[in-house]
A = this chain, B = another copy of it.
Amino acid sequence: MAERRLRVGILGATGAVGQRFVQLLEHHPWFEITALAASSRSAGQTYGEATRWILNTPLPEALADRVVLPADPEALAGTCDIIFSALPASRAREVEPRFAAAGFPVFSNASALRMEPDVPLVIPEVNPDHLALVRVQQKRRGWSGYVVTNPNCSTIHLVSALKPLHDAFGLEAVIVTTLQALSGAGYPGVPSLDIIDNLIPYIRNEEEKIETESRKLLGRYTGDGVEFADIRLSAAVHRVPVTDGHTEAVVVKLKRRATLAEVKEAFRTFRGVPQELGLPTAPDPAIIVREEVDRPQPRLDRDAGGGMATTVGRVRPDPIFDYKFVLLGHNTIRGAAGASILNAELALKTGYLD
């Protein structure tokens, strides 16, 4: 491992996901935050001034007085070795390529480039081999750096749970209904008057993201691209009055017959590359299976595995398809900042940050 920690710059550092990057990296063994960048509105202020801190651990004192930089490669040149991006999609589409072109490895939580054919969309437990796509990307675009993305917050937990089933039994069809937390909408996000004693059966573009990203994640790396998995997916999404933790009710149709015990066993015994490599942010186990009739629940289970695990419960036969279950995971840790960090850990350990 590196003798000294890699220097990290965070784009969009003042927002909800940016704050999670700051929180999760505060004591990271391999990475050290050396640059905080945000919109021109914030640039020039200290991080403490520019940030409306919304997490329940304090803003790290060492960063409070750090001056926020503008989110462009010139401003960050020499300040850091790699980039984590918490930019909104519209900004990311324009800014991230400029950082990659300037030589930075960019680990992005933004949706902007996820579906680009030469941009890896990676969950280290699911498709670590897709990381190789950065070489295709660099060649094609002439970049010395690159962009690696992670999926959207509801997709990541869904696909984490689907992976062992797909490996063991083959997935034919998946119907997922989500009950998603408020922090998924960022800050300020959902107005309180819209959600107290209420729920909203709609999140813009979310169903599309789940249905398409999942197929790329479970797809096959061909050496110069990804062949999407041939799985039919249908998603219906809802916003509920929960601060953190997405819940998803899933029904699956399998290609091969499986007993209930085999399905649970597939969840329980699942280990991915991050667990094998002992990556610092990797949860172990990656998937927690609960047997209580009323779990998982957001407030009780979202912090499992430091917010990096996916918890599965109520695994049971389905009268129409084969099995149904409910899953839950933290949407701004594993579902956002933690996902990018784990991607960077994988990249470092597998030679993509040398």
A contact residues vs B (CB 8 Å cutoff): 16, 54, 56-57, 173, 175, 177, 179, 182-183, 187-202, 204, 211, 232-234, 236, 238, 240-243, 247, 249, 251, 293-300, 302-303, 313-314, 318-321, 324, 326
Q: Roughly how many angstroms separate A208 CA and B271 CA in the complex, as a whole number?
A: 35
Establish whether residues A197 and B242, one from each chain, have CB atoms under 8 Å apart when the complex forms. yes
Establish whether residues B198 and A298, one from each chain, have CB atoms under 8 Å apart when the complex forms. yes
Partner of A56, one of B179, B200, B232, B300: B300
Establish whether residues B199 and A196, one from each chain, have CB atoms under 8 Å apart when the complex forms. no
Q: Roughly how many angstroms separate A82 CA and B86 CA in the complex, as a whole number?
A: 51
Q: Roughly how many angstroms separate A320 CA and B192 CA in the complex, as a whole number?
A: 34
Query: Contacts A298-B199, A326-B201; is A183 near B193 (CB within 8 Å)?
Result: yes
A-B contacts, 22 of them at CB < 8 A, read A54-B194, A56-B299, A56-B302, A175-B251, A177-B177, A183-B193, A188-B194, A191-B192, A192-B194, A192-B241, A195-B196, A197-B298, A199-B298, A200-B297, A201-B297, A201-B313, A202-B293, A204-B293, A233-B319, A234-B251, A234-B324, A238-B249
Establish whether residues B320 and A232, one from each chain, have CB atoms under 8 Å apart when the complex forms. yes
A288 nearest CB across to chain B (Å)? 10
Q: Which residues of B contact A302 (CB under 8 A)?
A: 56
A199 nearest CB across to chain B (Å)? 6
Q: Which residues of B contact A199 (CB under 8 A)?
A: 179, 240, 242, 247, 297-298
Q: Roughly how many angstroms separate A270 CA and B201 CA in the complex, as a whole number?
A: 24
Partner of A320, one of B234, B247, B298, B324: B234
Query: Contacts A236-B326, A242-B199; is A193 near B294 (CB within 8 Å)?
Result: no
Partner of A240, one of B54, B179, B182, B326: B179
Partner of A243, one of B177, B197, B232, B233: B197
A307 nearest CB across to chain B (Å)? 11
Establish whether residues B193 and A234, one from each chain, have CB atoms under 8 Å apart when the complex forms. no
Q: Which residues of B contact A242 (CB under 8 A)?
A: 196-199, 241
Q: Roughly how many angstroms separate A19 CA and B285 CA in the complex, as a whole number?
A: 25
5 shortest A-B CB distances, which residue pairs?
A188-B191, A177-B177, A202-B294, A198-B299, A197-B197
Establish whether residues A303 and B56, one from each chain, have CB atoms under 8 Å apart when the complex forms. yes
Q: Which residues of B contact A183 (CB under 8 A)?
A: 193
Query: Contacts A194-B192, A243-B196; is A249 near B294 (CB within 8 Å)?
Result: no
Q: Roughly how many angstroms separate A232 CA and B297 CA in the complex, as a whole number?
A: 28
Q: Which residues of B contact A54 (CB under 8 A)?
A: 193-194, 300
Q: Roughly how many angstroms separate A211 CA and B324 CA in the complex, as a whole number?
A: 15
Establish whether residues B321 and A234, one from each chain, have CB atoms under 8 Å apart when the complex forms. yes
Q: Which residues of B contact A187 (CB under 8 A)?
A: 191, 193
Partner of A189, one of B191, B249, B294: B191
Query: Contacts A198-B299, A199-B179; is A319 near B188 (CB within 8 Å)?
Result: no
Q: Which residues of B contact A295 (CB under 8 A)?
A: 201
Q: Roughly how many angstroms separate A313 CA and B236 CA in the complex, as a whole number?
A: 12
Partner of A197, one of B190, B196, B313: B196
Q: Which residues of B contact A241 (CB under 8 A)?
A: 192, 196-197, 240-242
Query: Contacts A188-B191, A241-B192, A320-B173; is A201 near B294 (CB within 8 Å)?
Result: yes
Q: Which residue of B lies closest to A302 (CB)?
A: B56
Q: Roughly how many angstroms separate A249 CA and B234 CA in the complex, as a whole number?
A: 12
Establish whether residues A193 and B182, one from each chain, have CB atoms under 8 Å apart when the complex forms. yes
